Amino acid sequence: MIRAGDVMQASVLTVSPGMSLTELEDFLVSKRITGAPVVERGVLIGIVSRSDIVRLLSLERSLSGLIAEGLESPETAGTNPVRLPEPLTRALTGRTVRDAMVVELVTVSPDTAVTEVARLLVARHIHRVLVTEGETVRGVISTLDLVRLVAEDRLREV
């Protein structure tokens, strides 16, 4: 049986919760990855991906749009752009990884069967699962890793 430890990517790049989302995006692009575990003082506290950034920014844009509509008076509707109050503008910028990360982690041990990893990815609608031992991240398995196993015809249970 193929186990998580057999297929995981052992070189796991992590990010800190205080990293700005701008820095995170630059990091993800430069490393050619779409997400990373969030580690604080050596402890795994979350995971963040580009989808999480998009979800956060989309929600904030929707909320700021609703607030702007509420601030617009009927007399000035469509004539002058409405400026959001400075505290709200500041709140919408300067976001960090902590604001976007997911804290409900899906983890497996190195001994978990790859078929179980695949079931978790499908059931939870996620693209990566962390391989951990205690609070230590040992690796990551992405959907691409499983596709690679299928392409190489290695995903056969014995």
Residue-wise pLDDT for 74-90, tens only, equals 555 555 554 544 544 44
Exposure on the CB side of residue 112, measured as CA atoms within 13 A: 23
- Domain ranges, ordered by start, for the chain: 4-151
Position 17 scores a pLDDT of 97
What integer is the mean pLDDT of 67-77? Answer: 52
The DSSP element (H or E) to which 146 belongs, if any, is helix 143-151
Lowest model confidence (mean pLDDT) among 25-29, 103-107, 125-129, 152-156: 152-156
How does DSSP classify residue 106?
-
Helices 21-31 and 50-71 cross at an angle (nearest 10°) of: 150
pLDDT in tens, 95-131: 899 999 999 999 999 999 999 999 999 999 999 999 9
pLDDT tops 70 at residue 5? yes
The number of C-alpha atoms within 13 Å of 19 and in the hemisphere containing its C-beta is: 23
pLDDT at 68 over 60: no
CATH number of the 4-151 domain: 3.10.580.10
The runs of H, that is alpha helices, within 32-74 are 50-71
More confident residue, 60 or 158: 60
**At residue 92, does pLDDT exceed 50?**
no
- What pLDDT sits at residue 82? 47
What are the tokens at 134?
């205690």
pTM of the model: 0.73
